[in-house]
Amino acid sequence: MSRGNLDPETEKAYHNRLEEALKAGYDILATGGSSIDAVVKAINIMEDEPMFNAGRGGVFTNDGRVELDSSIMDGKTLKAGAVAGVTTIKNPINAAHAVITKSRHVMLAGVGAETFAAAQGLEIVDPSYFRTDLRWQQLLRARERDAIELDHDGPSGMLDHRFMEDLKDPFMNDVKYGTVGAVALDKHGNIAAGTSTGGLTNKRYGRIGDAPIIGAGTYANNEAVAVSATGIGEMFIRTAAAFQIYARMRFGGETMTNAIQNTLNEIMAIDGYGGVIAIDKNGNYTAGVTPGSGMYRGVIGPDGKPRTAIFADETF
């Protein structure tokens, strides 16, 4: 992410939306609510905001569909829920949560997940609800290039590097996308993590990334840490990134910062990149991102004051 490719008005809008999501989660925690409920609420805000690649802002597949993935995990019980490849569930994170509370399963996919969500009384919408002109135009550009574009980046994030020379395309560089996620610690000492995404523009063949996979894009365990990830999903799956951070901390004695950095180093070693947000059982928090990347992120603590950042060199 380059500051030169993000105009001040758009930058401010992202900060405002991040603050809104943080406050929504905080309001639940401040009144004694659970970390998992706070995570759901914060993600709902981002799923309903077309600026983000989740829910209504989800990107299009090659065949012109919006296929959404989401997962959530409770660090106290280690219960987890996920949905993948859904096209009619307004808020996929709610469906992932329902998998925990209303089923004996961990992951449901496609039509089955949608049938389950409807049976639980979750809001079901026509697939046209998710369509935005911005995302459609992005798909048309991707089809022209016959490339797969990362959900959170422009041409520099294309998996097909034949198109790296097209860095000056203003449409692709001025628009940023991203998987959304949240992690939280409640007053009872329980942590939780959740992730929701539309995946990759122009993705094909029912592709599913790391977001709905417990241990790759999402993981939480009260013994150490809650993690939500974004980036090249295939690489986060191959490195079991979210679980690896937990394992490094609990079994390897690494600090949260070192565990995140060492995990990101493994991801970069196989030509991946991205970032994570994390909170540990003591309320320490951090966000890590691979060099040259950026990530919309924010934190809110006991003082109720949200702090947000976008670029890699920014701190809270």
pLDDT digits 0-9 by tens, 237-269: 999 999 999 999 999 999 999 999 999 999 999
* pLDDT band (50, 70, 90) for residue 283: very high
Structural domains in the chain, sorted by start: 3-130+174-311 (3.60.20.30)
The DSSP output letter for 229 is E
Report the C-alpha gap between 89 and 149 in whole angstroms: 24
Give tens-digit pLDDT for 89-136. Answer: 999 999 999 999 999 999 999 999 999 999 999 999 999 999 999 999
* pLDDT band (50, 70, 90) for residue 151: low
Catalytic residues: 179
Place of tokens 């369509």: 131
Report the C-alpha gap between 198 and 183 in whole angstroms: 19
- What's the token pair of residue 253? 């004695």
Give tens-digit pLDDT for 29-41. Answer: 999 999 999 999 9
Report the C-alpha gap between 184 and 171 in whole angstroms: 35
The per-residue pLDDT for 1 is 65
The per-residue pLDDT for 174 is 36
Q: What is the pTM of this model?
A: 0.91
- The residues, any chain, with a CB within 8 Å of residue 172's CB and separated by 6 or more, are 138, 141, 149, 154, 155, 166
Contact 306, 300 (CB under 8 A): yes
Report the C-alpha gap between 130 and 135 in whole angstroms: 9
Exposed/middle/buried for 162, CB within 10 Å: 0-12, 13-18, 19+? exposed
What does each C-alpha distance from 153 to 123, 148, 189, 212, 232 come to in angstroms?
A: 30, 11, 35, 20, 10
